[in-house]
Amino acid sequence: MKKTLLSAATLLALSLAAPLAAHEDHGCLDDGCITQLLFAEGGVAGTHSGTIAAQRFGSWGIDTAGMDRSARPGEDFFRYVSGTWANTTAIPADRSSYGAFAILRDLSEARLRALVESYPPGNPETDGDAAKIAALYQAFMDEATIETLGSKPVAPLLAAIRAARDKDQLAALMGQRGGLSGSFFGLTVSDDQRDPDRYALYLSQSGLGLGDREMYLRESFAPQRERYQAYIAQMLQLAGWNRPEANAQAILALETRIAQAHWTRAESRDRDKTYNPLALADFGANAPGFPWATFFRAAGVDNAPRAVVRQDSAIPNIAAIYADTDVATLQAWQAFHTVDAAAPLLSQAFVQAEFEFRSKFLSGQPEQRDRWKRGVALAESAMGEAIGRDYVALYFPPDAKAKMDALVANVKAAMGARLDALTWMGPQTKTEARAKLENFGLKIGHPDQWRDYSGLTVRNGDVFGNALRSRQFEWDYRRSRIGQPVDKGEWGMTPQTVNAYYSSVKNEIVFPAAILQPPFFDPDADPAVNYGAIGGVIGHEIIHGFDDQGRKSDGNGLLRDWWTAEDAAKFEAQASKLGAQYEAYTFPQLPGMHINGKVAMGENIGDLGGLTIALEAYRRSLAGKPAPAIDGFSGEQRLFMGWGQVWRTLWRDDALRQQLVNGTHSPGHIRAFAPLRNVDAWYEAFGVTENDPLWIAPEDRVRIW
């Protein structure tokens, strides 16, 4: 597979021990977003031989050797900033993409390995978090034992599916959120968008092994469906399930019907449509055909007064499909999804089959990731902030937080100045927007309080059992909070996560320690570069509070319309223009594939607005003094180069296809230049004219924030 320039969206692979994700309310910097809430209490002891330093980018923040100065900025700004790097960099064989995010994730992963392998083995029941982490990791690394066990660990789960002779019993299996059973419906617990001080139960559409409805319905994905059916049969055969070929055909047909009932990704991110509270007692009448009472009871949430339904018109249709499907097909569907989920923890035959389809075929990744990398992911997903506590002690000095606090304050002040200067927004809406900005929360580096893991049972040598218990532990923690006060200090990412996010219900922006490193942030780099890189990221997350969906919540995180109709119409007109710009970009290696402007709208608005207020903040930081030139580059040139550098990324073609279908972010080489085309200062900084391909006439440039 040839490599493709794309966005930095490499997600550190999560193991089966990963708890259920929170309700989708985070505006993350890229599709590597991890919204699990993993916290710990008490110290994790280990001996460390030393720290692993981050790589600096050039002497002042830009990798000038990685530039291609033969490229004109107005023709291909990505290549101008990162062209030589792109030409001389190979995607590692165990990755489907590689770039600035992946480089930092590799660094974080190496640091985590050193930590995890430093924890001494012991008795996980009595020796605290260190022994638990060691047990999680070492059990996964014991390949000989895992190979000897073969499929035995998953056998009891398959036996339970075989024993389920009716749809009521199968619905009970779907409700067991701590297990590995698949479900037609997803359950999560998160902050209530209409009552941000309380936790609520959310229910959403689910049931698709290929992830998105488009994979089932578009003719261009016929090869993926054909290979998926073969993979289903392969997994069923490995599991010893009867009639694997016939059942695989029936499962694909079933999932295709479910896909037809699913909302599109664009519809599912519309917060005006996805808040539909329904009493648990009314689900039977509202969506007949599915044993709701059994499902909720098995999940342990039957005491909840209601659930917020995200795709309200899809749920009854999916329930009807369940009622219309024979028990044998439902059993086979459940068996496949159980084995598919369990595969990374089983013997090599299962591991290889899962890798060949999900990583190699769908994303073009040539080789499996090293065992230790997957083992680190397992331990981190189960006890991420227990490890993160030591990570912070080693890699996040107090002065880094102080410098970030100052930078964020400058960018926030710049956003205030931009609000005051807006000519298209009326005074009533502007007052509300100002109040929301003033109420923005900020979390830098790591949480102040760490979660207690003492209730998690981990056993030496029991990788499969540890995974199941970890999932159950996390689900029990989350479901116990339904209706309870929201923990405002809680984090949605571990400190070692290379990402950032905005939470609309908490109205806060969050920056884990691991992203506060080059090329995003270097305390010794040129300030202009930092403003273009981490300043643009800070601005991006602030703008999520004012993007097409974030703007629907107020300063207290309450989902309500605080816009005048006139101002909302002006906003939507500019957003539509921006969406059209992005949808016009083509990908020659993938004919017919385009960015979905509605799905990526929030991120594209975030990029444009974030870069705009970062520029404003940089100008304000100069206090009227001229910026010095460095290596012949002006201050504003360096700022725009800092922005472009963080989006240097290569992806394989198959991964690009997956990104365009399943991702919420535009490809990275697009992000490196697309927002700049709407910023007048970029044209001035690089002398871009109407003769350049990236030129947009001033009257056609999008101006929102």
Residue pair 360/203 in contact (Cβ under 8 Å)? The answer is no
Q: How do residues 233-268 score in pLDDT, each as one tens digit?
A: 999 999 999 999 999 999 999 999 999 999 999 999
pLDDT surpasses 80 at 15: no
Q: How do residues 435-479 score in pLDDT, each as one tens digit?
A: 999 999 999 999 999 999 999 999 999 999 999 999 999 999 999
Q: How do residues 559-577 score in pLDDT, each as one tens digit?
A: 999 999 999 999 999 999 9
pLDDT surpasses 80 at 278: yes
In terms of DSSP bridges, do strands 508-512 and 441-445 run parallel, antiparallel, or are they unpaired? parallel
Q: How do residues 195-220 score in pLDDT, each as one tens digit?
A: 999 999 999 999 999 999 999 999 99
Domain 396-447+495-700 annotated CATH 3.40.50.1820: no
- The whole-number pLDDT of residue 26 equals 60
Residue pair 618/417 in contact (Cβ under 8 Å)? The answer is no
Q: How do residues 119-152 score in pLDDT, each as one tens digit?
A: 999 999 999 999 999 999 999 999 999 999 999 9
Q: How do residues 627-674 score in pLDDT, each as one tens digit?
A: 999 999 999 999 999 999 999 999 899 999 999 998 999 999 999 999
CA angle 378, 384, 386 (to 5 degrees): 125
Q: How do residues 80-97 score in pLDDT, each as one tens digit?
A: 999 999 999 999 999 999
Residue 537 pLDDT grade (very low, low, confident, very high; cuts 50, 70, 90): very high
Residue 57 pLDDT grade (very low, low, confident, very high; cuts 50, 70, 90): very high
Q: What is the pTM of this model?
A: 0.91
- The whole-number pLDDT of residue 400 equals 80
* Distance (Å, whole) CA 528 – CA 60: 10
Residues 6+ apart with CB under 8 A from 159: none
pLDDT surpasses 80 at 32: no
pLDDT surpasses 90 at 31: no
Options 3.10.129.10, 1.10.150.110, 3.90.700.10, 1.10.1380.10; CATH of 151-346:
1.10.1380.10
Percent of the chain with pLDDT over 90: 90
- The whole-number pLDDT of residue 19 equals 33
What are the boundaries of each domain within the chain?
Answer: 151-346, 396-447+495-700
Reading the block at residue 684, the tokens are 């001035």
Of 617, 601, 532, the residue nearest 100 (C-alpha) = 532
pLDDT surpasses 60 at 323: yes
Residues 6+ apart with CB under 8 A from 266: 596, 598, 599
Of 286, 283, 274, 305, the residue nearest 549 (C-alpha) = 274
Q: Kindly report the number of other CB atoms within 10 A of residue 103's CB atom.
A: 22
Residue 178 pLDDT grade (very low, low, confident, very high; cuts 50, 70, 90): confident
- The whole-number pLDDT of residue 177 equals 87
Residue 49 pLDDT grade (very low, low, confident, very high; cuts 50, 70, 90): very low
* Distance (Å, whole) CA 176 – CA 315: 19
